[in-house]
């Protein structure tokens, strides 16, 4: 007959058994079990209104909502066009038979903030950061620039597209400013075949246009030429360029479609194609972030759940499936180049780079909202790959200073700021280095470019 365990041992065994059972349940059950349980609607109707970016609202938004409804256990999920162009409704049937509806009105990023202000929207989808004036106007809702209000849901890049027959393969940002302002009017001025350039651009409500205006036109003191054809729809713009041998346009990555995307150079940086890895690290000169803005203390459970779902592994997989760049951390090989500084060339030969850059709040040594979530993603990767001890190298970069030694010191201090955060989670780093203003990814003649160059890369052995 087996001997009975002492009381203390019985309690220890009971706790251990409970832990093992819970561990098995967590491993065996799908992640959807752990989603926030939303209240079952007592009547059919709209539970969530989203307004804003067409870049997000055309395809990505509906796909994320559909995924959320599936995870919540709804059935008979439908995505249907609204009564107005660029509006959709996504609906599903709850267990009690009631129909749950989410609406999207995708008329441009600015309209999302207008919707938050007048109460017609629960979430604002935006393909650009909120402007200071918009944040001030919405201050009664809370700090929309805070980590609770500003949600970076994906990375995108503005592709510069041409007709497939156009022989030009690369352009500089200053050339783009001259083209779209109407100063350069013929393809022969750029080394192409003779022919008058025709401009295709998004409309004034578009976050895509706001981003292009900020990164290209305003950065060079230019304005869009009045001759440009304007489009609310990303798809229609892209299809127009792909059918026009003299056309050029700018568009989000998922909407390149049948057109040809060219490589882009900024300042002293090499021309870069809009490749997923270069966009993921935000090194591509025209990369950008896509946002959802939510009232930090929102009482709408469906709005909070969509934000949570979008950041989840399943939500980020949907981001990738819809042509945008998911924020999932991966290790990639970097092709060695003799133009690299020796220490950086050594990393390229021996280690792999993670598809993330840590960046900082403007005028601050504090990590920005994306970087704060990226810390969690990097930690998850390091833990899963057993790289917590002596496997990580942090590489800091910055913008030029009058004293090169100061530029190198500041770049290393940025890397040390990331080291402090990783050390709190038990990561023992292999090395922290600063390369000053070497290997710029953007021009240093403007604030946006300098901020982009102030970055920290993560390498793993």
Nearest Cα to 79, choosing from 89, 69, 70? 89
Whether 35 maps to a domain, the answer reads no
**pLDDT of 38:** 82
| Strand runs labelled E in 375-449 | 392-397, 431-434
Q: Are 375 and 422 in contact (CB under 8 A)?
A: yes
pLDDT (mean) for 440-461: 83
Whether 37 maps to a domain, the answer reads no
**pLDDT of 407:** 81
Count of H helices and E strands in the chain?
15, 18
Structural domain boundaries, residue 251: 156-280
**205-232 per-position pLDDT tens digit:** 898 998 899 889 998 999 999 999 999 9
**394-416 per-position pLDDT tens digit:** 999 988 887 878 888 888 999 99
Tell me: do 455 and 333 sit in the same domain.
yes
Which residues have a Cβ under 8 Å from the Cβ of 403 and sit 6 or more positions away? none
Whether 33 maps to a domain, the answer reads no
Tell me: do 365 and 427 sit in the same domain.
yes
Whether 38 maps to a domain, the answer reads no
pLDDT (mean) for 173-184: 97
Whether 91 maps to a domain, the answer reads yes
**27-40 per-position pLDDT tens digit:** 333 333 345 568 77
Tell me: do 425 and 376 sit in the same domain.
yes
* Total domains in the fold of the chain: 4
pLDDT at 3 > cutoff 90 = no
CA distance 7 to 86: 67
In which band, very low, low, confident or very high, does the pLDDT at 362 lie, cut at 50, 70 and 90?
Answer: low
Q: CA 381 → CA 97, 224, 358, 388, distances in Å?
A: 41, 43, 15, 10
**pLDDT of 400:** 82
Tell me: do 335 and 453 sit in the same domain.
yes
Whether 36 maps to a domain, the answer reads no
Q: Are 97 and 275 in contact (CB under 8 A)?
A: no
pLDDT (mean) for 182-204: 97
Whether 285 maps to a domain, the answer reads no
In which band, very low, low, confident or very high, does the pLDDT at 181 lie, cut at 50, 70 and 90?
Answer: very high
Q: Give Cα 143 to chain centroid, integer Å.
A: 20
Tell me: do 167 and 151 sit in the same domain.
no
- Which domain CATH number covers 106? 3.40.190.10
Tell me: do 170 and 250 sit in the same domain.
yes
Whether 40 maps to a domain, the answer reads no
Q: What is the largest CA-CA distance in the chain?
A: 97
Tell me: do 218 and 308 sit in the same domain.
no
Tell me: do 314 and 348 sit in the same domain.
no
Instruction: Record the tokens describing residue 178, joined without a space.
Output: 């001259």
């Amino acid at each position: 007959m087996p001997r009975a365990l002492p009381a203390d041992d019985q309690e220890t065994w009971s706790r251990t058994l409970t832990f093992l059972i819970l561990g098995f349940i967590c491993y065996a059950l799908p992640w959807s079990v752990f989603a926030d349980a939303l209240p079952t609607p007592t009547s059919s109707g709209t539970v969530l209104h989203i307004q804003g970016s067409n870049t997000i609202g055309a395809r990505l938004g509906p796909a994320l909502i559909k995924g959320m409804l599936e995870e919540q256990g709804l059935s008979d999920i439908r995505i249907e066009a609204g009564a107005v162009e660029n509006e959709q409704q996504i609906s599903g049937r709850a267990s009690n038979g009631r129909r749950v509806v989410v609406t999207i009105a995708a008329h441009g990023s600015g309209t999302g903030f207008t919707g938050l202000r007048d109460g017609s929207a629960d979430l604002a989808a935006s393909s650009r950061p909120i402007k200071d004036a918009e944040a001030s106007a919405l201050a009664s809702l809370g700090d929309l620039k805070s980590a609770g209000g500003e949600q970076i849901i994906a990375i995108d890049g503005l592709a510069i597209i041409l007709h497939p027959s156009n022989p030009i393969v690369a352009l500089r940002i200053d050339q783009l400013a001259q083209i779209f302002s109407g100063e350069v009017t013929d393809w022969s001025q750029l080394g192409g075949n003779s022919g008058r350039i025709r401009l295709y651009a998004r409309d004034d409500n578009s976050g895509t246009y706001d981003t292009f205006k900020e990164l290209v036109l305003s950065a060079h003191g230019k304005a869009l030429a009045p001759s440009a054809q304007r489009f609310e729809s990303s798809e229609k713009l892209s299809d127009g360029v792909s059918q026009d041998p003299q056309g050029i346009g700018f568009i989000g990555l998922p909407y390149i479609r049948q057109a040809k995307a060219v490589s882009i150079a900024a300042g002293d940086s090499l021309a870069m194609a809009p490749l997923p890895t270069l966009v993921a690290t935000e090194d591509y000169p025209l990369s950008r972030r896509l946002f959802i803005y939510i009232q930090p203390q929102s009482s709408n459970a469906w709005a909070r759940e969509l934000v949570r779902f979008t950041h989840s592994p399943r939500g980020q997989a949907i981001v990738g499936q819809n042509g945008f760049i998911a924020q999932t951390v991966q290790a990639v090989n970097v092709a060695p180049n003799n133009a690299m500084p020796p220490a950086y060339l050594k990393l390229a030969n021996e280690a792999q780079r993670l598809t993330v850059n840590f960046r900082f709040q403007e005028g601050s040594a504090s990590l920005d909202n994306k970087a704060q979530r990226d810390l969690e993603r990097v930690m998850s990767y390091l833990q899963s790959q057993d790289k917590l001890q002596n496997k990580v190298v942090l590489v800091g970069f910055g913008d030029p200073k009058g004293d090169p030694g100061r530029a190198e010191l500041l770049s290393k201090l940025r890397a040390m700021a990331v080291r402090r955060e990783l050390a709190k989670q038990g990561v023992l780093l292999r090395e922290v280095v600063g390369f000053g203003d070497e290997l710029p990814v953007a021009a240093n003649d403007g604030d946006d470019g300098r901020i982009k160059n102030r970055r920290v890369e993560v390498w793993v052995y």
